[in-house]
Amino acid sequence: MQSSAEMITPVGSETLVKIRNLHYARGDRVIFDGVDLDIPRGKLTAIMGPSGTGKTTLLSLIGGQLAPDRGSIEVDGQQVQELGRTALYRLRRRMGMLFQSGALLTDLTVFDNVAFPLREHTDLPESMVRDLVLMKLQAVGLRGARDLQPSELSGGMARRVALARAIALDPMMIMYDEPFTGQDPISMGALVQLIRLLNDALGLTSIVVSHDVQETAAIADYIYVISGGKVIGQGTPDTLAKTDSARVQQFMQGLPDGPVPFHYPAPDYTEDLLDA
Partner 1 sequence: MALSRSITLRRIIRKTCWMLELIRGLGRSGFGFFETLGRFNLFLLKILVGIPAVLVRPRLLIAQLFSVGVLSLPIIVVSGVFVGMVLALQGYNTLVDFGAEESLGVVVALSIVRELGPVVTGLLFAGRAGSALTAEIGLMKATEQLAGMEMMAVDPIHRVIAPRFLAGFISMPLLAAMFSAVGIYGGYFVGVGLLGVDEGAYWSQMQSKVDLYNDVFNGVIKSVVFGFVATWIAVFEGYDTVPTSEGVGRSTTRSVVYAAFAVLGLDFVLTALMFGD
> Least CB distance from residue 251 to partner 1, whole Å?
26
Is 123 near partner 1 (CB under 8 A)? no
Indicate the residue among 70 and 121 with the shorter CB distance to partner 1.
Answer: 121
Cβ atoms 75, 50 nearer than 8 A: no
CA atoms within 13 A on the CB side of 82: 9
Cβ atoms 233, 246 nearer than 8 A: no
Region near partner 1 per CB under 8 A, out of 28-36, 138-146, 206-214, 267-275: 267-275
> Least CB distance from residue 205 to partner 1, whole Å?
15
Indicate the residue among 170 and 200 with the shorter CB distance to partner 1.
Answer: 170
Among 120, 123, 244, 257, binds partner 1 (CB under 8 A): 120
User: What is the size of the binding site for partner 1 (CB under 8 A)?
Assistant: 26
CB burial class (10 A; 0-12, 13-18, 19+) of residue 106?
exposed
Q: How far apart are CA 23 and CA 30, in angstroms?
A: 8
**Residues from 213 through 232 that contact partner 1 (CB under 8 A):** none
Indicate the residue among 70 and 94 with the shorter CB distance to partner 1.
Answer: 94
Is 275 near partner 1 (CB under 8 A)? yes
Q: What mask of x and - would describe binding to partner 1 in positions 75 to 114, judged by CB under 8 A?
A: --------------xx-xx-xxx-xxx-xxxx--------
Cβ atoms 68, 56 nearer than 8 A: no
CA atoms within 13 A on the CB side of 220: 31
For residue 23, the SS3 value is: strand
Q: How far apart are CA 45 and CA 213, in angstroms?
A: 13
Q: How far apart are CA 55 and CA 62, in angstroms?
A: 11
Is 28 near partner 1 (CB under 8 A)? no
> Least CB distance from residue 38 to partner 1, whole Å?
22
Is 274 near partner 1 (CB under 8 A)? yes
Is 122 near partner 1 (CB under 8 A)? no
Q: How far apart are CA 154 and CA 253, in angstroms?
A: 30
> Least CB distance from residue 89 to partner 1, whole Å?
4
> Least CB distance from residue 71 to partner 1, whole Å?
21
Is 63 near partner 1 (CB under 8 A)? yes
Is 57 near partner 1 (CB under 8 A)? no
Is 159 near partner 1 (CB under 8 A)? no
CB burial class (10 A; 0-12, 13-18, 19+) of residue 154?
exposed
Q: How far apart are CA 119 and CA 123, in angstroms?
A: 7
Is 41 near partner 1 (CB under 8 A)? no
Indicate the residue among 120 and 257 with the shorter CB distance to partner 1.
Answer: 120
Is the torsion defined by CA of 181, 159, 93, 42 positive or negative?
Answer: positive
Residues that bind partner 1 (CB under 8 A): 60, 63, 65, 89-90, 92-93, 95-97, 99-101, 103-106, 116-117, 120-121, 162, 165, 271, 274-275
